[in-house]
Amino acid sequence: MVHKRFYTIQELAIIIGKTVASIHGHLSRKQYDAVPPPMKLGRRLAWLDDAVDAWIADKAARAGEKAAAQRNLATLPTRGRGRPRKSERKNGGER
């Protein structure tokens, strides 16, 4: 007989650092990028430990890719926000 380890919602909340209420909210909106997809064990929700580990690894990999993309964008020149100063105007700030 195969024994598999499951996490309850309270254990999952501790592992991913969210509250039980926020996990319920994400599940009701089916936001499976914010929490791993659950499985039903009778009336209870459960998560396989392997599935949670894979979800965390996937999130870490995507965060690494996103950080690399942000570093590439950081090298591009950016435009200043807000109203330009007199010295930045096209005519040199003269009236």
pLDDT of 1 above 70: no
Residues 8-66: pLDDT tens digits? 999 999 999 999 999 999 999 998 889 999 999 899 999 999 999 999 999 999 988 88
Nearest to 13 by CA among 59, 45, 60: 45
Residues 6+ apart with CB under 8 A from 48: 4, 5, 6, 7, 39
